[in-house]
């Protein structure tokens, strides 16, 4: 008798579950179909704020630092443990750069002169100094890393103002006892 009761309940409940699943799917399809294909999705007006400076404090928004942080995350493939500190343009005018790429040259030098004019930049992070070049001084999205200098955990980076109140970066190496 017990099995017959379960069978009767099952014959009623299983189709009801199917009908409810169908109604749920139909409601989702209507909801998705009602959305306009011309809906404008929200996009960022500005890049994300660089969250902290070297002192660990939240700072006012700076487009320069925000773009630098975005560039760092492109360079290190989104590694959030490396913090952006600052970046500078090393060469103020375009100059021919030396590249390690295998370019055709007569003397088969290890370093072949790249004939492109470029601007050299340096980015200082919490873990290293990255030297990179760009074709224009304004657009740093198309870059090529030329050198990377890692510094050990015992060195500190300190930003100091000179006599003319211009900041510069000094690397302080601690002495172990």
- 130-166 residue pLDDT tens: 888 888 776 667 888 888 888 764 455 555 666 776 6
Q: Which residue has the tokens 């009761």?
A: 5
pLDDT at 79: 87
Give the per-residue pLDDT at 108.
46
Confidence (pLDDT) at 2: 78
Nearest-angstrom CA–CA distance, 98 and 144: 12
Q: Which helix (H) or strand (E) holds 40?
A: none
Alpha carbons 154 and 157: distance in angstroms, whole number: 10
Mean pLDDT of 39-62: 75
* Contact (CB, 8 A) for 96 and 103: no
User: Residue 106 has what pLDDT?
Assistant: 42
Kindly list the domain boundaries of the chain, sorted by start residue: 1-42, 63-173
- What pLDDT does residue 110 have? 45
Using an 8 Å Cβ cutoff, are 147 and 155 in contact? Answer: no
The pLDDT of 94-111, averaged and rounded, is: 44
Q: Note whether 86 and 160 are within 8 A (CB).
A: no
Dihedral pair phi/psi, residue 37, rounded to 5°: -75, -10
Residue 50: name the closest of 71, 31, 21 by CA.
71
């Amino acid at each position: 008798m017990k099995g017959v009761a379960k069978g009767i309940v099952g014959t009623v409940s299983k189709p009801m579950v199917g009908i409810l699943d169908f109604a749920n799917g139909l409601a989702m399809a209507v909801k998705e179909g009602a959305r306009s294909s011309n809906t404008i999705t929200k996009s960022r007006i500005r890049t994300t704020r660089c969250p902290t400076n070297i002192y660990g404090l939240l700072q006012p928004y700076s487009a320069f630092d925000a773009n630098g942080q975005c560039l760092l995350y492109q360079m290190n493939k989104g590694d959030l443990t490396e913090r952006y500190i600052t970046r500078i343009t090393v060469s103020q005018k375009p100059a021919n750069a030396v590249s390690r790429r295998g370019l055709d040259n007569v003397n088969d030098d290890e370093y072949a002169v790249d004939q492109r004019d470029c601007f050299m930049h340096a980015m200082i992070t919490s873990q290293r100094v990255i030297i990179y070049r760009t074709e224009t001084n304004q657009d740093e999205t198309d870059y090529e890393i030329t050198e990377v200098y890692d510094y050990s955990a015992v060195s500190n980076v300190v930003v100091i103002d000179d006599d003319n109140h211009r900041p510069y970066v000094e690397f302080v190496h601690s002495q172990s006892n």
